[in-house]
Amino acid sequence: MLIVNLNRQGYREFKLHVILVGAMRTIYKGYTDKPLVDLNLDYHKIKNLTHKLNEHSIRHASALIKTRYALQYNTSNNSQGLGLGATAHNFPDPH
């Protein structure tokens, strides 16, 4: 889809760069910084961009993990706070 959109906008020659983002805030300089240096970005812009990319990937990985956990333990609103499928915010009615 990216290539189709670039072609539609008139770009005929382009190069895709692979940026590798590691786990636990690890940034692989050889795979991440080098392609950005090739794009003529300075050190501070590269540092800022790689940290933003890392935070972005952590946010989305956390969302995936939470969704998997919710599906695995079947956390639905039908539970009344009892058993594995119960949610913390769905307390039983006290009356």
85 near 75, Cβ under 8 Å? yes
**Residue 9's pLDDT is what?**
92
Residue 64 inside a domain? The answer is yes
Residue 77 inside a domain? The answer is no
pLDDT in tens, 16-59: 777 777 766 677 777 788 888 888 889 999 889 888 888 888 88
Q: How far apart are CA 81 and CA 94, in angstroms?
A: 12
Residue 78 inside a domain? The answer is no
Residue 30 inside a domain? The answer is yes
Residue 38 inside a domain? The answer is yes
User: Is a pLDDT exceeding 80 seen at residue 4?
Assistant: yes
pTM: 0.51
Q: For residue 61, report the phi and psi dihedrals to the nearest 5 degrees.
A: -65, -40
pLDDT in tens, 59-85: 888 888 899 888 888 655 554 444 555
Residue 33 inside a domain? The answer is yes
Q: How far apart are CA 20 and CA 32, in angstroms?
A: 6
Q: How many domains would you assign to the chain?
A: 1
Range of the domain at 63: 2-72
